[in-house]
A and B are shown apart, each in its own frame.
Chain A
Amino acid sequence: MITLIAGGSKCGKSALAEKILSQYSGRKLYIAAMQPFGEGADEIIARHRLMRSGKGFETLELCKSFTPEAFPTDCAAMLEDIANLTANEMFTGETVREPFEHVMRDIKTAAERTNELIIVSNSVGCDGIPYPKETADYIRSIGRINAALAALSDNVIECVFGIPLVLKGIIPC
């Protein structure tokens, strides 16, 4: 089963994803696509590590190279998050590349290898601020990826101020 959880900054999406992942009895994988650079990144990574401690998750920290082919099979996994995964695919090479196909291929591979996949994604298109072309392309890519992931997912949940809103399927916990 695939569950997509999306929302803005500090809306409780990670906490919900972790709650869903926690209830599976088998091997539990936390796949962090956080980029460990930029001001504030260390703080966020430290906070998320603390939130996960004691929950029995195995952490895979994927930065520049996301290789779902290397995932162990037969486990449940949560992937956090699509904005970073997209940025990694788009901006960390020598040239800017179109991320859609790469992200979707990775997610589909991850979904095939895992019994349960929980994807944490981001709402990034609603601040009404005009951005330079590269950032505007990034926002559009995430929007397009979110729509494709929602079509692929069994459950789609939007988090708003800690309240989960079911857009498709159920809240599987």
Chain B
Amino acid sequence: MILIIGGEAQGKRTFASSLFDKEPIIADCSVCEPKDIMTADLIISYHELIKRYTDKAEEITEELCKNNPEAVITLNEIGCGIIPIEKREREYREAAGRSGCIIAERAKEVYRLFCGKATKIK
């Protein structure tokens, strides 16, 4: 897997697309189902899926690592703010952090995007 992280609108998707020679099969996590990410080449905005499936996020992430080890995944860094008062929001941030750790550990490469520039951090 290749994991691409960064804040909102830093060029993650553009960088991710540049890694493919042919048109990748894309799973857009703001609309897709967990089963769709198991076969896609490029998984966009994985935090959006975590938000919709917070309670099962770590389980889904383990499945993803097992079933789709060649995937390219983009994931926003959402944990660098004030801890939200709402339980649901807090759980979302924590699930996104833990799921990101799981993917980063398994990934062969991790890039962090800032102002459109990629830094290879693994």
Contacts and interface: CB of A to CB of B under 8 A. Distances in A.
Are A and B subunits of one complex? Answer: yes
Interface of A: 7-12, 39-40, 123-129, 131, 135, 138-139, 160-163, 165
Nearest to A129: B81
B97 A127 contact: no
B101 interface: yes
Most chain B CB within a 10 A radius of its CB, from A11, A139, A165: A11
A19 B87 CA distance: 29
Interface in B53-83: 75, 77-83
B97 A11 contact: yes
Contacts of A8: 77-81, 93, 97
Nearest to A10: B97
A9 to B, nearest CB: 3
Contacts, number: 79
A160 B3 CA distance: 12
A124 B80 contact: yes
A10 B93 contact: yes
B89 to A, nearest CB: 10
A126 B77 contact: yes
